[in-house]
Amino acid sequence: MQFKLIMLLFLFISLSSESFVSAKVVMIFPKDSILYYMRKVADKEIQEFTINSKNIPQTDWQNAVMYAGYIALKQLGNNKKYDDFLYGIGENNNWNTGMHRFFADDYCVAQMYAQMYMQHHEQKMIAYWKPLADSIVQHQFTEQLEVIPQINYREWAWCDALFMGPPALAYLSTALNDRKYLKKADSLWWKTTSYLYDTSENLFYRDSRFFNRREANGQKVFWSRGNGWVMGGLVRMIDNMSTKFLNKKKYVSLFQQMAKRVKALQQPDGSWHASLLDPAFYKEKETSGTALFCYALAWGIRKGFLNKKEYLPAVNNAWKALMAAVHPDGLLGYVQKVGDKPTATDYNSTGAYGIGAFLLPGVRYINYINYKF
């Protein structure tokens, strides 16, 4: 069975990119092959996590992003193995966040806690996160966002923070049916956006240090994964908003602007390279950014925010590029290492956050296969 699935997947991968654009515009990958590869990658990472769990704190953002992917994966049939894995992480952490209390990277893990709470309804899962979130709600964030030492411990001064911090508050709002956390996330979201969003390019600078930097070709520096963090954060924020939420239309508008721009920057093989505006300098595909864009675009189609005929070929091509980066043993390659700007990557480069990013669009893909367009 597994051999047939692999052969079927390779048959699809061998198709030319032109074949994805047809009058019908359909999903091209069968559900079983998607699930097979998702589980292969997920199980490989659990194995690696067990061996190397002491290398990176389990509350660290790198692992927290990985947990987001497993939260999504376990919802496909409510797989107990993945639920047990996440529950064990929570227990190991005593359901607490990282040591820097206002540092978005250190409370990204609370997204998983709030989502687990929604399923298990165990108070301990948010016993530390709720009072911390209350303190964030009460705090007046009044600093400028120009990068200075340790500003990231106090403000959302870098674009990655829009994936790490706001959704943690938004999921708590949903879990407790209390809008104050979402409203605080909303106010801080737009503070960061007004500072880092380039309205002429419809892309986010990573932080203030990049306002005047240029790539080798003279273009502005827009980091693929950084903009992927923003689009993933948009998805997760909007998912926690009712139709009556005051600024929901602003989020959807921002999402659509970025989606149009990102789609235009997709490379012929379906991927995005580390630098969005200088892909020739960074020649390799970069899978963490590609996965986050794939996730966001697929979500946008399903929600009706993006036109299926226009955007589904881009999702198909992105998923094709992601599948081609999976090693025979399940390791996901071409994941840019931890950083804050475009850098080169290769077939053997991987990271826990890349696995989380990879699982998110896979789950969305399967949701759409089961959905009648």
User: Half-sphere exposure of residue 177, counting CA atoms within 13 Å on the CB side?
Assistant: 0
H-helix or E-strand containing 80?
Answer: helix 80-92
Point out which residues pair with 198 in neighbouring strands.
Answer: 203
Q: Are 275 and 220 in contact (CB under 8 A)?
A: no
Kindly name the residue from 60, 105, 106, 160 that is annotated as catalytic. Answer: 160
CA 335/CA 287 separation, integer angstroms: 5
Judged on CB neighbours under 10 Å (0-12, 13-18, 19+), 166 is buried
Q: Where are the alpha helices (DSSP H) in 207-264?
A: 224-238, 248-264
Q: Where are the alpha helices (DSSP H) in 93-223?
A: 104-107, 110-120, 129-138, 161-164, 166-176, 180-196
Q: Are 142 and 174 in contact (CB under 8 A)?
A: no
CA 86/CA 338 separation, integer angstroms: 23
- 275: helix, coil or strand? strand
Give the start-end residues of each E strand in 23-93. none
Active site residue 329: no
Residue recorded with tokens 């990985």: 66
Q: Are 330 and 40 in contact (CB under 8 A)?
A: yes
CA 127/CA 206 separation, integer angstroms: 33
Active site residues: 160
